[in-house]
Structure 1
Amino acid sequence: MKKLLVVGLLGLLSCELPPRQASTSAVLNTVSDSTNRSAAEEYVMVTTAVTMPMYVNHDQAAFKRWGEKMGVNVSILGPAEWDVPAQINVIEEVIGTRPSGLLINGTDPAIGPVIDKAVAAGIPTVVYDSDIPNSKRHAFLGTDWYEIGQMQGREMVRLLNGKGKIAYMGILGLTNMEAGFQGLLDVIKKYPDIEVVGKFDDKANVEEAARITSDLLAAHPDLAGLCGFDSNSGPGIGLAVKEAKRVGQVKITTVDWEPEHLQLVRDGVIQMLAGQKRELFTWYGAQFLYDMVHQTNHLSARDAQVGITNVPTAVNTGLLRITKENVNEFINRSAQ
C-alpha cells in the first residue's frame, strides 16, 4: 500500500448532504476516528507529496485555519511522495465516503476522469494550484503559470540589460511548468542578444538542480542567468552558484518563497522570487466548497439540479514579486 498521510481534523457543523458512508477500504481507515459522528460536515483536501514543506507551510496551514474558523472538519489526504496514480486512488476512496466537498491539487491532467467521478457523485469539487481544464471541476483557483514565466523573463531581461546567456530548469512535462517555460521564452525571444543555452529537468530535487547548475557553469563560464520553475530549483541553483563563487555574477530568478528562498534573496544570491499566493487559492477554494454546500448565492431556483455552478469558475490569485528591497516583509510575517 502506498504511504499516506492524514493531517488536521477539526471541528463540527451539521451537514446538509446525505450522511457519508464508512471508509470504503483500508486506505481511509486512518481517518475513522474523525468520522464517528456521521452528521459532521467534512471537507477533504487531496494532494500528492503531502510532506513537501511548501504544501505544509502554505496550502495545508491555510486549509486548517479555514476549518477552525468555519467550525467544520477538514482532512488532508495523499501519498507522501510525488505519486499521481496514488493521488487518483485516494480520490476514488474519498468519493465513497461522501465528503461535504473535495479540494483537489491539480497535479496532472490524468486526474481529470476521477474529478469527473466526484462531480457525478454530487460532491462539490474545486481544483487548486494548477487547473485540470479537461475535467468537469466546479471551479479552479490558482496561478497563471504562463505569467510566472513572463515575470521571470522580464526580470531576467532587466537584470542582464538584454544581453547574455541563460538557462532554465524545472519539472519537464508538467502542464503548468511547460506553460511557464513558454512564458519565459516568449519574452526572451524579443531580445536577440539573450541566448538560451538549455532547458533542464531538475526533477524537483535540490541536489539535481545543483548538479545541473555546476555542469552549466563549467560548460559556459560566461553564463549570465538561471531561471527556476519548481520549489527546489532555487535552493539548488543558489547552492551551486555560491560554491562556484559566482554570487551576483550569475543572476537568478525562481519560484516560491519558503524560508530558504527568502534567505537566499536577503543574501543577494537570488535576485527575484515569483511567489504564488498559495494561502489565497487554498482558503478561497475551501470557501467556494462551503458556499456551494450552503447555497450562499442563488442564480436560479434550482442551481445544482440544472447544472449551474454558483461560485466563480476560475480565479487567478496572482503573483508576488519578491526582491531584496521587500524580502524582509515576508521574512518577518511569521512574527505577526
Structure 2
Amino acid sequence: MKLQRLVYSVLTITFFVSVGFSIYFFSQARASNARILEADTNNLPIPRYHFALIGEELEHDYWELVGQGAKDTEEEYEIAIEYEGPRRSNPEEQRKLLDMAIKSKVDGIIVQAVNNSFLPLINKAVDQGIPVITIDTDAAKSKRFTYIGTDNYEAGRLAGEELIEQTNGSATVGIVTGSFDNAHHQLRVQGFQDVIEQKSDISIVAIEESSITQVIAEEKAQNMLTKYPDINALFGTSTHDATGMTEAAESLGRSNDLYIIGFDTLEENLQLLKQNKVDALIEQEPYAMGNRSIDLMMDIMENKEVKDVYHTDTSVVTKADLSVINE
C-alpha cells in the first residue's frame, strides 16, 4: 500500500511539472507566433534570431538597464530578445529559466552565472548548439563563448583604494555583502580585502550578508555597528546595501562619523551621495553590458572570433564628480 501511494505521488508530481513546462512553452510559442504575425501584418521583417537574456532580478533598476541595453538592439539587428529573471534574486529560479530557454531552442542565451551550479546547464546549451554568453558574473570554467561585465575583483580593489585614501589609511571596517554564495560579490569582497590587508592600520572586523535586500542590509549593518562600536567605515557590495547602511547609521546616530562606500550609481544611491549620506559609489555600466552582449552574440552568429573576456568600465564616483558632471 505504501509503495502504491509513493508511486501515485511521484506520478502526480511528474504530471504537474510536465503541465507547468507545457504551459510555459505554449506561452513562449504563442508570443513568438504573435510577433511573427504582427511583423507580417505591418510588413516588418521577421526576427532573424531569438535570444534569451536571463538576469538576477527582473524588476531591479540595475537589471532593467541591462535588459534595456539589450532590447534597444532588436530593431538594428532584426532580432527578438526575451528578457527574463526571478522577481527577487533566486539562483534556483534562474537555473529553471535557463533550462527552459534551452528546451525552447532559442538561438542564443545570455545569462548571469551566479555560481558554479550554472556550469552544467551552460555546457548543456553549448553541447546542443546554443551559444552562451555570461554577463555580470562569469563562469570561466564552463563552455560559454565569452563573458561581458565588470571586473568584479578590480571593482573591489577600487573601493579599497578609495577607502584607504579618504580615511588616511586608518579605519575599522564592516562589510555588508549582497551574498556569500554569489561569485561576483565574493570577488568584490576579495579585491577589497587584498587592498586593505596592505595597510596595518586598517582592519575588517565584520562581514555580513544582506541577501541583496535593503531591509536586511540595514539590519546587518545595525547589528555590526552595535556589536563593534569602533567601526568607522562601511563597504557594501550590492545596490541596496548603501541605502541599508545609511538607514542603520541614522537610526544609531552615526551619520556624521562613518565613511560609507557602496555599489552602483542608480538614482536612489546618487541621492544619498548628494545628501552626503554616502561618501563614494562604485559605478558600473549595466546598459553597456546588455547592449554589447548582443553585439557579441551577433558576432558569434556570424562565426566571427570573440575574445574570452570583455570588461566594461568601472570607476569611483564622489559628490565632487557629480558637481563636475552637472556643470
Alignment TM class, shorter chain as reference = 0.7 to 0.9
Aligned match for 1:239, one of 222, 237, 247? 247
Deviation at 1:29, TM superposition (A): 2.9
- The structure whose residues are more often helix, as a share, is 2
Deviation string, structure 1 residues 80-121 (Cα, Å, up to 9, x no partner) = 232222222222221222222211112222111111111111
Bigger Rg, which one: 2
What is the match of residue 73 of structure 2? Answer: 66
- More moved, 221-230 vs 236-245: 236-245
> Is residue 2:324 matched to residue 1:324?
no
What is the match of residue 274 of structure 1? Answer: 282
TM-score by length of 1: 0.82
> Is residue 2:63 matched to residue 1:55?
yes
Gaps of 5+ in 2: 1-12, 14-19, 38-45
8 Å CA contact 1:248–1:268 kept in 2: the answer is: no
TM-score by length of 2: 0.84
Deviation string, structure 1 residues 198-247 (Cα, Å, up to 9, x no partner) = 11111112111112222233333332100001111111001122333333
Aligned match for 2:208, one of 200, 210, 217? 200
Equivalenced residue count is: 296
> Is residue 2:131 matched to residue 1:124?
yes
Greater than 6 Å deviation, 4+ residue runs:
none
- More moved, 314-323 vs 92-101: 92-101
Deviation string, structure 1 residues 268-316 (Cα, Å, up to 9, x no partner) = 1111111111122211111111122133x3xxxxxxxxxxxx2122111
CA RMSD of aligned residues (A): 2.2
Deviation at 1:193, TM superposition (A): 1.2
> Is residue 2:308 matched to residue 1:313?
yes
Q: Distance in 1 between matches of 2:268 and 2:72?
A: 24
8 Å CA contact 1:24–1:97 kept in 2: the answer is: no
Gaps of 5+ in 1: 2-22, 298-309
> Aligned pair in 2 of structure 1 residues 67, 248: CA closer, same or farther (>3 Å)?
farther
Identity of aligned residues (%): 21
Q: Distance in 2 between matches of 1:318 and 1:66?
A: 20
User: 1:157-236 counterparts in 2 under 5 A?
Assistant: 157-170=164-177, 171-236=179-244
What is the match of residue 5 of structure 1? Answer: none
Aligned match for 1:100, one of 103, 107, 113? 107
8 Å CA contact 1:91–1:114 kept in 2: the answer is: yes
What is the match of residue 41 of structure 2? Answer: none
What is the match of residue 26 of structure 1? Answer: 23
The residue type equivalent to 2:227 in the other structure is A
Deviation at 1:24, TM superposition (A): 6.4
